[in-house]
Structure 1
Amino acid sequence: MAEAHQAVAFQFTVTPDGIDLQLCHEALRQIYLSGLHSWKKRFIRFKNGVMTGVYPGSPPGFMVVVVSYMSYNKYHKLDPSLGICFMTFDIKCCFSDSQKIVGGVLVGTGLWITIIFIMRNALKCLLSWHGWMYSRHGSVSLGTRLWMLLVKVFSGRKPMLYSFQNSLPRLPVPPVKDTCRRYLESARPLMDDEQFERMKGLAKDFEKNLGPRLQWYLKLKSWWASNYVSDWWEEYIYLRGRGPIMVNSNYYAMDFLYVFPTSIQAARAGNAIHAIMLYRRKLDRAQIKPIYLLANKVPLCSAQWERMFNTTRIPGLETDTIQHMNESKHIAVYHKGRFFKVWMFYDGRLLLPREIEQQMERILADKSEPMPGEEALAALTAGDRTPWAKARDAYFSRGKNKQSLDAIEKAAFFVTLDDTEQRFVEKNPIKSLDSFAKSLLHGKCYDRWFDKSFNLIVFKNGTMGLNAEHSWADAPIIGHLWEHVLSMDPFKLGYTEEGHCCGEPHPNLPGPQRLQWDIPAECQDVIQSSLTIARTLADDVDCHSFPFNDFGKGLIKKCRTSPDAFIQIALQLAHYRDKGKFCLTYEASMTRLFREGRTETVRSCTMETCTFVRSMIRDETVREERLKLLKEAAEKHQNMYRLAMTGKGIDRHLFCLYVVSKYLGEDSPFLKEVLSEPWRLSTSQTPLQQVELFDLVRHPEYVSSGGGFGPVADDGYGVSYIIVGENLINFHISSKHSSPETDSHRFGGNIRQAMLDILDLFQLDKKAIK
């Protein structure tokens, strides 16, 4: 192949006259351009590191401070070093112009750094105040307005993605007494009197005896570490799990619901991959804008973006690790049992969409058969972690297997050119969306590399989606990338009339590299064992995804109720109708108001919500009473959400206290019982973060379906929802077929009815409001 010859930089032949070197100028040119690209990237990273390190200062600000300081000293004929640098000399005799300049620059630099330090710490103090969260919707007090003005003043100009990291406050450790009180309050609706009194006794004993000792160690960690929760959460909740991460941990994101930009698989892959690589370039240059709350005034932590690309979860015997590469110039692609390495750069530039489509076309046209054991190799990442760790060490630590595995694990991300067709079908919406969700969640159990930070999955008919590993970051981070891709694909990159990517194929582009494997029979047995475990898990998952378009947040806001509180209360009503009882409920909330914050739990099954649900079950309750109880339940939910976001949640504190107790070898019946309680209803909202990218008023069809995840408990439900625009809410429900208590489709019907029943309490004229 011509491409193979171009990849060789030089050849040599030994002759009687000596060694005859045959240089390939094209290959040497590519090496030069590749090196130039790498050095440019290093320089940009160095520059961004400096800019972030001195933020909210800047080079122009440095010049202003130094020049102003030196001008002031010259005008008043002062010693620019204030007597510090040259105190041992007679200034009148020895202080030359050059010494004055050096002294002025040094002291001016110190003054500039001092100003930065003051601004950064002032901003940190301002961001530690969260009173703005308690303002009534639509009204802002004078004190909050003044606070917002000060935040803007101390935030500097033109911040980059990581500019605010050193200005974010640390996550506070709440008092043990407060956490125990809030826990008991959350547990009350789920226990009878005898159970509750017993738990009160355990909590009181813990609060008086072991708790203060554990709290001391936790406070010590909070003073020393950037975040007292995140590293333990990553290690013990994610990386130390020995079960499959497929279904149990990984989650998915769907394509557009109603729009199909092209039916050509290679073309859709070309645009999507190019858009993802453009996002990575912006990320490398820190050109992505920080995420804010409260009218772009309150910044959120950006630390989770650092490992989005070039990242893989590496299996271990007892705990996994996260491997992150600073740079990767290729992607790994899977199609019909074969793995390929595809370079993303040529001629010192990123491949264009039509050139990437060209590479995908070559892979799709490749008729070679998989090598023995290659087709189902990725099942190792879908099964239990320990067998995968042992197999990786035994069969993939040397030779061609190591080289091929490195090509996958060190790739920017993983791509699957799926040989099935998935999409929303209007004539059969339920079956089509359910199949789509299951395919993105687990596929065939061997056609996604579940260890990669994320997999781009492009189906045969041009539909696509993502499957993401959870340990490195939470769903909003990958959601930000996905919003960028969906907005770039049809609007900015576009397609030709025939459905291909815009542009022309490259005449000399080297083709994809087929990865080579030598997988022994013993390893193939391990692969089959992992595949059996993964298939059993995947076949048990009952997925149901549906768009709820009867109304959306626009109508809910007319009820003067938080849309999230409205939906969470509806979920409680639906669950009670579904199972005839309440359960411990998990709603994910973020703690990114603090440095390196991740998530906290909102225990949304409250006494107030349960009281409202019972009122909806009893026919004799009047509408006015139900509305009053609904308002109380919504206010309670909002308050719990605020507490979770501001570091006053329950579960992360108790989790860290439990970790400390294990390190100390102490046994706590209270902590053990609290952390063993199953979350039979696990919920999460997928926020739409970049609303400016989608004009849903003029183009309501360009809506994302959001994404979902597997059930957390064997007899429970997993529910994800995304509020899109004013009139649509997409739900994703999962459970297990093996549980006689659950049925995802039945629960979906209960959710729909609960939403309608709660809205009917307000007796709104929907047509008039719309």
Structure 2
Amino acid sequence: MYQFQESLPKLPLPKLSDTCARYIEMVTPLLSDTELERTKTAVREFQQGSGVELQKQLEMIDRSTNTNYLQQFKEETYLEMRSSQLNMRSTGVASPVLTTSKYSFTRIVAIIIFNTLQFHLKIKYRELEPDRDVFQRNKPPLCMAQYDNLFGSARIPGIKCDSFQRAKNSEHIVVIRRDTFYVLKLLPGDTLPSVEAVAQQIDWILENTHPGELPVGVLTSLPREQWATVRSYLTNLDAENACSLELLDSALFVVCLDEITPPDLERLARTAFTGDGARNRWFDKPIRLVFNSEGQFAVTIEHSNVDGYPVARLISEVNRELEPLEESLTSSSSVELEPPQRLCWKLDRTLKEEVAQALTDAERLSEQIQMGIIIFDEFGSDFIQQHGLIADAVFLLSLQIAYTRLHGKITTSAWQAVHNRTFRYGRHDYALVVTPESVELIQAFTEGASDEVRYRTLKRAVNAHLWRVFNTKNGQGVVMHLYALYNLARYKGSSVLDIFQDKTFEEVILDPSFSASALSNKMGVEIACPSPCRDYGIGYVIDRNKITFAVTSKHLQPEDFIALVKQCLSEIGKLLIEQRHPDSNIRIHSSPQ
């Protein structure tokens, strides 16, 4: 698992002059002449003045750490967030593999739990094959450090900043049903149980859990400083509360058995992401498996120490049937499991009032998120690659065209999450995907240009997009470098510099219009958090013959945007066919209306 880790290069710290030059290049097509001149002045003064000292401090940080200059800033960015964590996470929904037409609900849950325990043991004993960047020709190995944060860890609330805690040698998980918490000790001595034994424990929980339990888990949806205070009060009120919290913090992961209706994937995606009003949840765990009554499941991610890529691999490896050898081994397991242990809570009037208020607040927060999920099945990556283009770039360009058509203006900033795990302890950066070439493409598609012009500008825009992503993936991104400089200046308590007060910096670096991220095509769909974006959070999965994407927003209805994205994709598909085969009668598949 770690055989390549030490040979991976360290994430480079870009030169200040390079980042400033790239920043100006990136914002130029977005600004008027007056705005651009103001931004150039602020950047020039920063580069020649206070930015020099801040860059030197970043260089000192970089030389003094085994990780990289961004690591601490990234962790603190997440852990310092004081708002509720209810809608501040991503969710991956697994494509159904195990179905109730073949297996019972409890066996599906038991198989997924068993596979997840196996995955944990592969990490613990360093048996997991290293990830590789399959999009590069030589498929270089990727950093595996994040996998150690998946299991047995917890985010602990603090007044000013949360902390990340990891337990050693944890042997139990926690299952939540009807807001009742159970400890299942499934790995005594790291020995796997049989699937049947796990299924029996799930059956017992289903049969013996009745409605009416006070939803203590909703407290984890409170603003973080408030939850820190309430948690301290809860801990000190009774020893049983302290014990329950310790068992939750140290659990390998949490399983939520929901009763949401209708039990379909879209409803599962919505409730897994928004937390169903924070019922039947514990938001402080990095990994939660959320099941509906059909055995379909989603994985929600707390991002302070884990990005989406390790979770995508988790889903792809656990969302499967058992192999014959595994069936034989698990059936012969001699592990005797202890009965499920119900966690107890002692609550006084003060805590009951906190729970009631937290429920009200959580329901309000859940209702703030608007979400739309769509499967575009006219084509996928195969069709786009046949025309010499890259599907990922085409989709991001379609988003930009759709945004302009809907809002009547070119977006001032759009991010694409890009991993930089080819570097040791690399996580992710953001590529600013609005380029001069994409602006030309938007104009061609919105101003009635000929198909020949559209096709030519599309190819140029794809190449420009790929170059922007390439630079970001190779440690020359602009967003996180400027963000680190901004945070360093903020921590020093110095007066706010002109570059950071500039409207362009706020809109491009701190408050983009939308952010898009993609994960494995073995997932059903990814739900991306809209924060910190002004308008939309977009998660997408590109398969060979379809594109599945979800759009979330805190204040906009996503349906119109989704309809325009579909329209743009269809137009591009028809354009590619006509330009490659101008006399052909070939048609891409159209979905029935």
Query: Is 1:300 the counterpart of 2:139 in the alignment?
Result: no
Q: CA 1:191–1:675 in 2, change beyond 3 Å: closer, same or farther?
A: closer
Per the alignment, do residues 605 and 347 of structure 1 end up closer, same or farther by CA in structure 2, a change over 3 Å counting? closer
Contact 1:555–1:769, Cα closer than 8 Å, also in 2: no
Q: Which moved more, 1:483-492 or 1:277-286?
A: 483-492
Shift of 1:467: 1.3
Kept in 2: contact 1:232–1:656 (CA 8 A): no
Who wins on radius of gyration, i.e. which is larger?
Answer: 1
Q: Does the 8 A contact of 1:680 with 1:713 survive in 2?
A: no
C-alpha deviation, 1:267, in angstroms: 1.5
User: Closer, same or farther in 2 for the Cα pair 1:758/1:507, shift >3 Å?
Assistant: closer
Contact kept, 8 Å, 1:719 with 1:731, in 2: the verdict is: yes
Normalised by the size of structure 2, how large is the TM-score?
0.91
Would you say 1:564 and 2:392 are equivalent positions?
yes
Q: Give how far 1:346 is off.
A: 5.4
Of 46, 49, 64, the residue aligned with 1:224 is 64
8 Å contact from structure 1 (residues 340, 513) kept in 2: yes
Partner of 2:29: 189
Q: Is contact 1:570-1:751 (8 Å) kept?
A: yes
Which of 349, 352, 356 in structure 2 is aligned with 1:521?
349
- After superposition, the Cα gap between the structure-2 partners of 1:382 and 1:556, relative to the gap in structure 1 and judged at 3 Å, is same
CA distance in 2, matches of 1:632, 1:712: 31
Residue deviations 1:151-182 (CA, integer Å, cap 9, x gap) = xxxxxxxxxx1122221111111121211121
1:263/1:531 CA distance change after superposition, 3 Å: farther
- For 1:457 and 1:190, how far apart are their aligned partners in 2? 41
1:206 to 18, 33, 46: 46
Counterpart among 237, 260, 265 of residue 99 in structure 2: 260
The residue type equivalent to 1:712 in the other structure is: S
Match of 1:462 in 2: 295
The secondary structure found in structure 1 opposite 2:271 is: helix
Q: 1:623 to 1:369 in 2, by over 3 A?
A: closer
| Structure 1 residue 709, shift from structure 2 partner | 2.0
Which of 10, 13, 16 lines up with 1:176 in the alignment? 16
For the Cα contact (< 8 Å) 1:680–1:712, is it kept in 2? no
Alpha-carbon distance in 2 for matches of 1:586, 1:520: 46
Q: Does 2:193 match 1:351?
A: yes
Question: Is the 8 Å Cα contact of residues 263 and 293 (structure 2) preserved in structure 1?
Answer: no
Q: Distance in 2 between matches of 1:550 and 1:243?
A: 40
Counterpart contact for 2:90–2:526, Cα < 8 Å: yes
CA deviations over 1:400-456 (Å, ceiling 9, x no partner): 0000111111100001111224554xxxxxxx62x2221110223121211101111
Alignment match, 1:676: 506
Structure 2 Cα separation of the partners of residues 370 and 507 of structure 1 = 34
1:622 alignment counterpart: 450
Offset at residue 502 of structure 1 (A): 8.7
**Paired AA for residue 355 in structure 1:** A
Q: Which moved more, 1:401-410 or 1:167-176?
A: 167-176
Is the 8 Å Cα contact of residues 194 and 333 (structure 2) preserved in structure 1?
A: no
Report the CA distance between 1:507 and its aligned residue.
11
Q: Percent identity?
A: 26
Question: What are the superposed Cα offsets for residues 675-724 of structure 1, whole Å, 9 maximum, x if unpaired?
Answer: 53211211111134xxxxxxxxxxxxxx5313212212575011111112
Residues 400 and 410, structure 2, Cα contact 8 Å, conserved in 1: yes
**2:249 paired with 1:409:** yes
Map Cα deviations across residues 595-641 of structure 1 (whole Å, 9 max, x no partner): 1111111111112101111111112x221111111111111111110
Residue number in structure 2 paired with 1:592? 421
Paired residue type of 2:351: C
Structure of greater relative contact order (alpha carbons < 8 Å, 6+ residues apart): 2
Residue identity in the other structure for 2:149: R
Q: What corresponds to 1:750 in structure 2?
A: 564
- Structure 1 residues 445-473: Cα deviation after superposition (integer angstroms, max 9, x where no partner): 12121110111112122221111111111
1:484, CA displacement in angstroms?
0.2
Write the letter of the residue equivalent to 2:234.
Y
Distance 1:367 1:240, change over 3 A: closer
* 1:602 matched residue in structure 2: 431
Do residues 396 (structure 1) and 235 (structure 2) align? Answer: yes
Query: Which residue identity does 2:272 align to in structure 1?
Result: L
User: Is 1:627–1:761's contact at 8 Å kept on the other side of the alignment?
Assistant: yes
- SS at structure 2 position matched to 1:676: helix
Q: Aligned residue for 1:539?
A: 367
CA distance in 1, matches of 2:475, 2:330: 49
* Counterpart Cα distance in 1 of 2:206 and 2:374: 32
User: Partners of 2:131 and 2:414 in 1: how far apart?
Assistant: 28
The amino acid across from 1:338 in the alignment is T
Task: Name which of 536, 549, 559 aligns with 1:731.
Answer: 549
Instruction: Note the C-alpha offset of 1:335.
Output: 0.6
Match of 2:169, as an amino acid?
E
| CA–CA distance in structure 1, aligned partners of residues 417 and 533 of structure 2 | 19
For residues 284 and 292 of structure 2, the distance between their equivalents in structure 1, rounded to whole angstroms, comes to 20
Aligned counterparts, 1:654-669, within 5 A: 654-666=482-494, 667-669=496-498
Partners in 2 of 1:490 and 1:451 — Cα distance? 33
- SS of aligned partner of 1:720: strand
Question: After superposition, where does 1:307-706 map in structure 2 within 5 Å?
Answer: 307-345=149-187, 349-367=191-209, 375-397=214-236, 398-421=238-261, 423-424=263-264, 433=266, 435-441=267-273, 442-488=275-321, 503=331, 509-583=337-411, 584-619=413-448, 621-666=449-494, 667-673=496-502, 676-677=506-507, 678-688=511-521, 704-706=523-525
SS for the counterpart of 2:401 is helix
SS in 2 for 1:733: strand
> Alignment partner of 2:6: what SS?
helix
1:527-565 deviation per Cα after TM superposition (whole angstroms, max 9, x unaligned): 222222221111111111121111011010111111111
**Partner letter of residue 223 of structure 2?**
D
Deviation at 1:571, TM superposition (A): 0.7
Write out per-residue CA displacement over residues 212-251 of structure 1, whole angstroms, 9 at most, x where no aligned residue.
1111111111111133344333333200000012212x11
Q: Distance in 2 between matches of 1:210 and 1:269?
A: 56
Ranges in structure 2 where 5+ consecutive residues have no aligned partner: none
Provide, for residues 88-113 of structure 1, a one-character-per-residue CA deviation record: whole Å limited to 9, x for no partner.
Answer: xxxxxxxxxxxxxxxxxxxxxxxxxx
Q: Distance in 2 between matches of 1:362 and 1:638?
A: 53
Quote the Cα distance in structure 2 between the aligned partners of 1:720 and 1:760: 24
Contact kept in structure 2, 1:354 and 1:505, CA below 8 Å: no
Using structure 1 for the length normalisation, give the TM-score.
0.71
Residues 489 and 528 from structure 1, CA distance in 2 versus in 1: closer, same or farther, beyond 3 angstroms? farther
Q: Which residue matches 1:156?
A: none
Question: What residue is the counterpart of 2:575 in the other structure?
Answer: 761
Deviates more, 1:346-355 or 1:274-283: 346-355
Corresponding residue number in structure 2 for 1:279: 119
The alpha-carbon deviation at position 751 of structure 1 amounts to 0.9
Work out the CA distance in 1 between the residues paired with 2:138 and 2:559: 39
How far apart in 2 are the matches of 1:258 and 1:549? 20
Equivalent residue number for residue 707 of structure 1: 526
Matches within 5 A, 1:50-89: none
Q: Which runs of 5+ in 1 are unaligned?
A: 1-160, 425-431, 496-500, 689-702
Alpha-carbon RMSD: 2.5
Query: Given the superposition, is the C-alpha separation of residues 321 and 507 from structure 1 closer, same or farther in structure 2, using an over 3 Å criterion?
Result: closer
The answer as to whether partners of 1:454 and 1:467 remain within 8 angstroms in 2 is yes
Distance change (3 Å), C-alpha of 1:468 and 1:632? same
Question: Structure 2: which amino acid aligns with 1:253?
Answer: G
After superposition, the Cα gap between the structure-2 partners of 1:510 and 1:188, relative to the gap in structure 1 and judged at 3 Å, is same
Q: Distance in 1 between matches of 2:481 and 2:244?
A: 42
Q: Is the 8 A contact 2:93 2:524 kept in 1?
A: yes
Partners of 1:180 and 1:714 lie apart in 2 by 23
Q: How many correspondences in the alignment?
A: 573
Q: 2:541 aligns with which of 715, 722, 743?
A: 722
The one-letter code of the counterpart of 2:112 is: A
